[in-house]
A and B are shown apart, each in its own frame.
Chain A
Amino acid sequence: DQQVKQNSPSLSVQEGRISILNCDYTNSMFDYFLWYKKYPAEGPTFLISISSIKDKNEDGRFTVFLNKSAKHLSLHIVPSQPGDSAVYFCAASAGGGSNYKLTFGKGTLLTVNP
């Protein structure tokens, strides 16, 4: 059973426009959410995170929105740049304990066209 779902395998946007990447989760115990960016043959790079006590977190061009009632989060990139082209992974963890295990979605390939 996939607890973190990224239903869009790919997304294509024009440079300068907004990119919106979506993620849904099923486990109500998840209380911390993260977005990672990954280029081919490299490790994922941490982008931004949000705790379940918030509904929005912003860092430069990246904003993450969390809708707990819908178990949905999204990553907004504004404005999109060609260098943003990569696979974006959503991840979630459940509080408690000391292991901080992350559950990842399958990723969305973002292509930003010049």
Chain B
Amino acid sequence: SQTIHQWPATLVQPVGSPLSLECTVEGTSNPNLYWYRQAAGRGLQLLFYSVGIGQISSEVPQNLSASRPQDRQFILSSKKLLLSDSGFYLCAWGRNEQYFGPGTRLTVT
């Protein structure tokens, strides 16, 4: 069966510091991968998606970037965090139905 992992589960970072969140998927090959963010009191906003290694599409102009160095690995990064980057970050895989990881709670202070 397929499983999706995200880490860390929680993160507190100062403004201006870098960020790296990692997501890996097991039990499937060449999955579509997605990064979403849920800000407080909001729905889920698609940030990036990838249909293959090295192929990244950005949905929202922002302070973040994504990379897919391996087939089942998806990384969300920032060089300098802003206060507005705080939120709950979710990685997902799938096509018509998407399956989400456990999420990372990021607090930028």
Chain A residues in the interface with B (C-beta under 8 A): 4, 32, 34, 36, 41-46, 49, 89, 91, 93, 98-107
Q: Are A104 and B43 in contact (CB under 8 A)?
A: yes
Q: Are A104 and B59 in contact (CB under 8 A)?
A: no
Q: A44-B90, A49-B96, A104-B43 are in contact. List 7 more A-B contacts (CB 8 A).
A: A41-B88, A43-B6, A89-B44, A101-B46, A104-B44, A105-B43, A107-B43
Instruction: Decide if B87 is an interface residue (CB 8 Å cutoff).
Output: no
A-B contact pairs, 17 of them (CB 8 A): A34-B97, A43-B90, A43-B92, A43-B101, A44-B44, A46-B98, A99-B32, A99-B51, A100-B94, A102-B46, A104-B43, A104-B44, A104-B45, A105-B43, A106-B41, A106-B42, A106-B43
Nearest CB in chain A to that of B41: its residue = A106
Asked if B99 and A46 sit within 8 Å, CB to CB, the answer is yes
The residue on B at minimum CB distance from A90 is B43
* Bound: A41/B9 CA distance, A: 9
In the assembled complex, which residues on chain A have CB atoms less than 8 Å from the CB atom of B41? 106
Given contacts A89-B44, A104-B44, A107-B43, contact A98 B97 (CB under 8 A): no
Contact B98 A41 (CB under 8 A): no
Look across to chain A and name the residue whose beta carbon is closest to the beta carbon of B10.
A41
Question: Do residues A41 and B103 form an inter-chain contact, with CB atoms below 8 A?
Answer: yes
Cα–Cα distance between A45 and B105 once the two chains are bound (Å): 17
Q: Does B49 contact A (CB under 8 A)?
A: yes
CB-CB < 8 A to B94: which residues of A? 100
Against A, the Cβ 8 Å flags (1 = close, 0 = not) of B11-52 are 000000000000000000000101010000111111001010
Residues on B with C-beta less than 8 A from A46 are 97-99
B96→A32 contact, CB < 8 A = yes
CA distance A108 to B12 in the complex (A): 28
- Give the contacting residue for A102; candidates B42, B88, B98; CB below 8 A: B98
**A99–B98 contact, CB under 8 A?**
no
Contact of A100 among B88, B95, B101 (CB under 8 A): B95
Of B32, B45, B100, the residue contacting A98 (CB under 8 A) is B32
